[in-house]
Amino acid sequence: MSNIIPQTIGQQYGRRSWAEPWKIKMVEPIRMIGRQEREQALQAAGFNTFLLRSEDVYIDLLTDSGTSAMSDRQWAGIMMGDESYAGSRNFYHLEEAIQTYYGYRYIVPTHQGRGAEHLISQAAIKKGQFIPGNMYFTTTRLHQELAGGTFVDVIIDEAHDPASQRPFKGNIDLDKLQALIDEKGAANIAYISLAGTVNMAGGQPVSMANVRAIHELCGHYNIRVYLDATRMVENCFFIQEREEGYSDKPITAILKEFCSYTDGAWMSAKKDNLVNIGGWLAVNHEDVFEMARNMVVVYEGLHTYGGMAGRDMEALAIGIAESVEDDHVHARVNQVRYLGGLLTEWGVPIVQPVGGHAIFLDAKRFYDHIPQDQFPAQTLAAELYLDSGVRSMERGVVSAGRDPKTGDHRYPALELTRLTIPRRVYTQAHMDVVAESVKAIYDVREQTRGLKMAYEPQYLRFFQARFERL
């Protein structure tokens, strides 16, 4: 497809290198503070990377949400904002971009992804209904529950196994889905909640064959399929690479085909769509559209801005077009895999295969001498910051919280530290720094001690908990 981005990591060594498909026009200076200052900053933050000041961070891999770099064209679009209350020209640009690239008929803008999740959940779920999906996402499931629904995970079993090398670990298990329909009755299924890629499974993709089969099965029962399109462009890359018949199709064609098997989508534009804020809901059926468009004026703003400024919608419309370019998508995913490739080569345990937006370090194997109640993933995030100023995030026992009945920690099977890569922000040289720092703390892992919790907030404790060294 593209002759500047290699198909495999191996081609990057020894022969012909590749480079990011952009050049830098404006820079934001960053600096690494000294070891002693990092130690102080970490102490002040209670060993929790959420409590660090971003100014004390050198390379920030906390999240890929709203952290992308916009292009010169998007910034030019910002200057073209039409801030009329109603009927802004930028809304029509946004509507056209979504219709062109995703192919849906009706568009409702929202301030970010969860705004769209709220609208679709309220419009399409009746109290007591079930919503089968391929692994939950935090805000998605919460909105489904608030609408009176019950989410049911019907992802394939391999999604829960960090060592399984299956190419499409985001797929829905059709037998599980059929069994649920048989058990509950088709009328009690609100819709299918399909996400591509699957964030909580490590950015694992869904195959075209799978969505086609879901579409067919649901067609029999008149059940609609809605897509969480947040990282769907990255999902298309994996289809192009791994699924037969798609290697010579551009990302735009794959995206259009995939969406054609679904009845609509909600979007956190802060991810794939290359903006710092924004979201949208898009549907093909007029009944849902009417309800959502009516509700958006209550919760977000008028139906031609939905919580975004005109300039935000313009940057988003341009961002959508840029996000589906093959060179961009290849560079994006291959940068993540470049980092994963180095760590794999050096024997550092990570979740395989590497997904589209992040590397997940397997802290249980990384610190196999630190018991889970001494927070190995939290320890890893703290040690990484201390070594190089790189900020990552815990996804393990701290994030899992306590069992409300017993009051004990929940001990999840996966104890992970996430390195999430923002889009178009860091170069390959930054990835080298990150990889070498992970390797450096891996080499001294046996001398590393775990942590104890010194302060524990009642809700979502991972955001504000504080720790001390053992």
Close Cβ partners of 142 (under 8 Å, ≥ 6 residues apart):
none
- Rounded Cα gap, residues 363 and 374, in angstroms: 12
**Smallest distance, ligand PLP to C-beta of residue 303, A:** 19
Q: In whole angstroms, what separates CA 368 from the centre of its chain?
A: 28
Output phi, psi for 365, to 5 deg.
Answer: -85, -30
Identify whether the C-beta of residue 281 lies closer than 8 Å to the C-beta of residue 267. Answer: yes
**Smallest distance, ligand PLP to C-beta of residue 70, A:** 16
Catalytic residue among 13, 16, 35, 85: 85
Q: Is the dihedral of CA 348, 354, 139, 193 positive or negative?
A: negative
Catalytic residue among 249, 271, 332, 337: 271
**Angle at alpha carbon of residue 441, lines to 431 and 446, rounded to 5°:** 155
Which window, 137-145, 174-182, 248-256, 409-417, contacts ligand PLP (CB under 6 A)?
A: 137-145
Does residue 121 interact with ligand PLP by CB under 6 A?
no
Q: Would you call 368 a catalytic residue per the annotation?
A: no
**Angle at alpha carbon of residue 405, lines to 403 and 406, rounded to 5°:** 70
Please, which of residues 165-224 interact with ligand PLP by CB under 6 A?
Answer: 195, 199
Q: What is the DSSP code (8-state) at residue 209?
A: H
Which residue type sits at 397?
V
Question: Which of 77, 95, 82 minimizes the C-alpha distance to 303?
Answer: 95
Nearer to ligand PLP, 2 or 63 (CB): 63
Identify whether the C-beta of residue 48 lies closer than 8 Å to the C-beta of residue 466. Answer: yes
Q: Would you call 271 a catalytic residue per the annotation?
A: yes
Please, which of residues 273-302 interact with ligand PLP by CB under 6 A?
Answer: 279
Catalytic residue among 35, 138, 157, 368: 138
Question: Residue 29: how many CB atoms within 10 A of its CB?
Answer: 4
Does residue 230 interact with ligand PLP by CB under 6 A?
yes
Q: Is the dihedral of CA 147, 150, 154, 159 positive or negative?
A: positive
R_g (Cα) of the chain, nearest Å: 22
Which stretches of 185-231 are DSSP H helices?
Answer: 208-221
**Smallest distance, ligand PLP to C-beta of residue 230, A:** 4
Does residue 65 interact with ligand PLP by CB under 6 A?
yes
Nearer to ligand PLP, 181 or 267 (CB): 267
Nearer to ligand PLP, 121 or 268 (CB): 268
Close Cβ partners of 3 (under 8 Å, ≥ 6 residues apart):
none
**Smallest distance, ligand PLP to C-beta of residue 138, A:** 8
Catalytic residue among 228, 263, 272, 362: 228
**Smallest distance, ligand PLP to C-beta of residue 469, A:** 32
Q: Would you call 462 a catalytic residue per the annotation?
A: yes
**Smallest distance, ligand PLP to C-beta of residue 463, A:** 14
Residue position matching structure tokens 């939950």: 136
Token pair recorded at residue 188: 């009690």
Question: What is the side-by-side order of every strand in the sheet holding 393-395?
Answer: 358-362, 416-420, 393-395
**Smallest distance, ligand PLP to C-beta of residue 148, A:** 20
**Smallest distance, ligand PLP to C-beta of residue 89, A:** 24
Q: Contacting ligand PLP (CB under 6 A), which of 122, 139, 150, 284?
A: 139
Q: Contacting ligand PLP (CB under 6 A), which of 42, 60, 109, 114?
A: 114
Close Cβ partners of 340 (under 8 Å, ≥ 6 residues apart):
350, 354, 359
Which window, 14-22, 134-142, 236-244, 381-389, contacts ligand PLP (CB under 6 A)?
A: 134-142
Question: Under rule CB under 6 A, how many of the chain's residues touch ligand PLP?
Answer: 15
Q: Mask of contacts with ligand PLP, 235-274, x by CB under 6 A?
A: ---------------------------------x-xx---
Token pair recorded at residue 51: 């409590």
Nearer to ligand PLP, 268 or 372 (CB): 268
Does residue 303 interact with ligand PLP by CB under 6 A?
no
- Rounded Cα gap, residues 342 and 433, in angstroms: 11
Does residue 110 interact with ligand PLP by CB under 6 A?
no
Q: Contacting ligand PLP (CB under 6 A), which of 56, 60, 95, 228?
A: 228
Does residue 112 interact with ligand PLP by CB under 6 A?
yes
Q: Contacting ligand PLP (CB under 6 A), which of 113, 301, 389, 450?
A: 113
Does residue 133 interact with ligand PLP by CB under 6 A?
no
**Smallest distance, ligand PLP to C-beta of residue 305, A:** 16
**Angle at alpha carbon of residue 287, lines to 282 and 288, rounded to 5°:** 40
Nearer to ligand PLP, 194 or 317 (CB): 194
Identify whether the C-beta of residue 132 lies closer than 8 Å to the C-beta of residue 192. Answer: yes
Identify whether the C-beta of residue 229 lies closer than 8 Å to the C-beta of residue 102. Answer: yes
Q: Would you call 228 a catalytic residue per the annotation?
A: yes
Q: Which residues are catalytic?
A: 85, 137-138, 228, 271, 395, 462
Binding residues for ligand PLP (CB under 6 A): 65, 112-114, 137, 139-140, 195, 199, 228, 230, 268, 270-271, 279
